[in-house]
Amino acid sequence: MADRMAEGGFRCGAQLALLALLAAALTAVAVQPYLPGPPWTAGTWRWLLEGDGDVRRLILADSLLPRLCTGLLCGGALGLAGVLFQQVLRNPLAEPSTLGVAGGAQLALMAAATLLPGFGGFGDLGRGLAALAGAAGSAALVVGLAWRAALAPAVVILAGLAVGLTCSALASGLMLFNGAGFQALFLWASGSLNQNGWAIPLALAPQLALGAVLALLLARPLALLDLGTEGAAGLGIPVRTLRLATLALAVALSAAVVSAAGVIGFVGLAAPAMARLAGARSLSARLAWAPPLGAALLWLADAAAQVASQIAGGGRELPTGTLTALLGAPLLLWLLTRSGGGGGGPPLPAETPARRLARPGPWLLAGLLALLLASWLALAVGQGIGGWRWSGWADLQPLLYWRAPRMAAAMAAGAMLGTAGVLLQRLTGNPMAGPEVLGIGTGAAFGVILLYLAVPAFPVEAQVAAAGAGALATLCAVLLLGRRHGHAPERLLLTGVALTTVFGAVVALLLSSGDPRAFTLFRWLTGSTYLVTPAIAVAAWAAALPLVAAPLLCARWLEILPLGEEAARGLGLRLPLVRGVVLLLVAALTTAATLVVGPLSFVGLMAPHAAHLCGLQRAVPQLAGAALAGALVMVLADWLGRVLLFPAQMPAGLLATLLGAPYLLWLLRR
């Protein structure tokens, strides 16, 4: 029976791979403007063999055919890496993108290219080693974070996504400081298969061949991992050594792809999933059919990207990695809705109990004094041509027009994000919930981006409405998708990050389109406060004051919600109404803050924890403490972004992300 099932899996996998390859081939031929006729005619073959002086033949031979081979090799390598990651981690959601491996390789390559002037002289070897170092570092960090949880699937994926977000934030900062080459750098980072010769496919082919041979050698002991750690060890398998060797091989394959074509996400997730759906139950069947399926998928995605580029016109190329993200993120969402998708392992840990303060007033007063001191520091201390300088009141007055509005706007945004974080954590009972982690801030940004695409010019009111609609829609989608699993914390987080990936792909579409507003939009997405005027700062505070105060009216609800649904109903709460009101408040707070400091800062995650660790555990004190903590973090982030790299500046949201992402990793480590 097992042999018959394996045979059926091979047959179905072969059929599916052939169908995918056929669809990719037909699409590629259909969009090919350089052939004089159909590829199956004698005249076309005679032209290919003899038309030396034809420019079309040169383009076909030196650009399009190498691009085809690069796509097939990268897709095959990603499919193979996905199978290896999923087998060794016992996690159907594991692949280079969800584990942060691709992000680490991308960051290392971008850092080397941006910070080392002579890096280009090292050629393919230098790029490969840099990508391998970045991928290995990310993988080691993910494994280290999840080791205490025995590499539980949910914890591994959460650690990978957190590491990926950190690497993405750092890479965004590097792109901002490379304004002249922003477009080319962004196109490569988004996953481009465009080629100008045969150097990359010729270098990639032996690496993939060696990886395939090593995977075949590891196949038999890896298959025994299906018996569990104890069962495999009982049969004489060195489980730890086997896992490390397999992870090293999968990381090397992922780094080779990033070095050749940038980040191409979700092919390593989709190819093994398609192989399983085709009946490939055994590891040998998945190893046999996931690589050709990955090659076919990437070839098809690249052909579709070329079609989209031709339809759009303007000579702009759509990055293939952007299209794979658009197609793969819904697959991740679908896998999350299945009962086995990414679950397993222990649940996320609850928040560490802290000492409850009987009198929170002194702590809140101390927080207010710290915020006032930080505000004066941000206004009075800065760098100039002569170095560091403390400005007295007389010297400070001409600088207030430039420094005060951006500091005030950052403070208001931080207070709103801290308040939104408290509301979300009390509503979901999830200590790792936050408007940034659940994708709500990115949803608000997505609404603004859609408005940019639809309307060339629009009033501020339309921007606010679009951001609010995006934030509310994302929040509702996260909660609806997590409803099947009882809003389990790890499911909510994974769903939020998957939605963030979809929105990020759409952002990449706009940024790679050549739109002259792209760089300005990218700077806003990273949380820049450069262009904040006094009018914007006043508007930010006009929104912050009522929105931060409104949750105080819901204090009783916020005290009861963490007790659970049964207790809440027993105490007379109308849960649909309560949840609706809280969700509207979260959407409004996140929308207003996102319009000022961008969609990703992690302040909404950090501020509630800071208040909780200070002993502010009741609803009202925690709301006040989180608002003060969020405001303090954003004021310091704005000031540090202004002075650290003077005369260059770092966006406040990006700097807050670089502070908050390690905090998220620390929470996972706990």
Q: What is the CA radius of gyration of the chain?
A: 26
Q: Which residues contact 286 (CB under 8 A, 6 or more apart)?
A: 83, 87, 272, 275, 276, 280
Residue 58 within a domain: no
Residue 628 above 90 pLDDT?
Answer: yes
Q: Assign 124 a pLDDT band (cuts: 50, 70, 90).
A: low
Distance from chain centroid for Cα 453:
22
Average confidence score pLDDT of the chain: 76
> The pTM is what?
0.74
User: 524-527 — which CB contacts under 8 Å span 24+ positions?
Assistant: 524/598, 525/172, 525/445, 525/598, 525/599, 525/600, 526/172, 526/173, 526/176, 526/598, 526/651, 526/653, 526/654, 527/597, 527/598, 527/600, 527/601, 527/651, 527/652, 527/653, 527/654, 527/655, 527/656, 527/657
pLDDT of residue 9: 47
Query: Ranked by mean pLDDT, which of 12-16, 132-136, 334-338 comes out on top?
Result: 132-136
Co-location of 278 and 129 in the same domain:
yes
pLDDT of residue 157: 72
Co-location of 209 and 241 in the same domain:
yes
Q: Assign 603 a pLDDT band (cuts: 50, 70, 90).
A: confident
pLDDT of residue 2: 43
Co-location of 330 and 365 in the same domain:
no
Which residue has better confidence, 627 or 331?
627
Residue 295 within a domain: yes
Residue 44 within a domain: no
pLDDT of residue 121: 47
Separation in Å, CA 186 to CA 130, 222, 518, 555: 18, 38, 11, 45
Count of helices and strands (H, E) across the chain: 27, 2
**pLDDT tens digits for range 152-192:** 766 777 778 778 777 877 777 777 666 555 556 666 666 77
Co-location of 225 and 370 in the same domain:
no
Three-state secondary structure call for residue 389:
strand
pLDDT of residue 483: 67
Number of separate domains in the chain:
2
Residue 345 above 50 pLDDT?
Answer: no
Residue appearing with tokens 């609609």:
469
Separation in Å, CA 143 to CA 149, 152, 669: 10, 10, 11
pLDDT of residue 5: 44
Co-location of 531 and 660 in the same domain:
yes
Co-location of 325 and 376 in the same domain:
no
Which residue has better confidence, 667 or 375?
375
Co-location of 534 and 592 in the same domain:
yes
Question: What are residue 383's DSSP bridge partners?
Answer: 388
Co-location of 295 and 399 in the same domain:
no
Which structural domain, as residue segments, surrounds residue 587?
361-437+502-669
Co-location of 70 and 132 in the same domain:
yes
pLDDT of residue 20: 61
**pLDDT tens digits for range 65-99:** 788 888 889 999 999 999 999 888 887 778 887 78
Mean pLDDT of 372-392: 82
**pLDDT tens digits for range 149-162:** 777 766 777 778 77
Domain final position from 305, 337, 369: 337
pLDDT of residue 131: 82
Residue 488 within a domain: no
Residue 416 above 90 pLDDT?
Answer: yes
Co-location of 173 and 290 in the same domain:
yes
Residue 455 within a domain: no
Residue 42 above 60 pLDDT?
Answer: no
Residue 162 within a domain: yes
Mean pLDDT of 287-314: 78
Three-state secondary structure call for residue 383:
strand
Q: What is the CATH number of the domain that holds 509?
A: 1.10.3470.10
Comparing 49-58, 158-167, 256-265, 377-386, the range with the smallest average pLDDT is: 49-58
Rounded distance between C-alpha atoms, residue 23 and residue 27, angstroms: 6
Comparing 232-236, 310-314, 527-531, 597-601, the range with the smallest average pLDDT is: 310-314
Residue 35 within a domain: no
pLDDT of residue 353: 47
Co-location of 327 and 192 in the same domain:
yes
pLDDT of residue 617: 82
Give me the percent of the chain exceeding a pLDDT of 70.
Answer: 74
Residue 506 above 50 pLDDT?
Answer: yes
Residue 291 within a domain: yes
Co-location of 333 and 395 in the same domain:
no
Q: Assign 363 a pLDDT band (cuts: 50, 70, 90).
A: confident
Domain final position from 303, 337, 371: 337
pLDDT of residue 346: 40
Which residue has better confidence, 26 or 276?
276
| Structural tokens at position 343 | 């679950």
pLDDT of residue 285: 86
pLDDT of residue 373: 92
Query: Ranked by mean pLDDT, which of 491-495, 560-564, 581-585, 596-600 comes out on top?
Result: 581-585
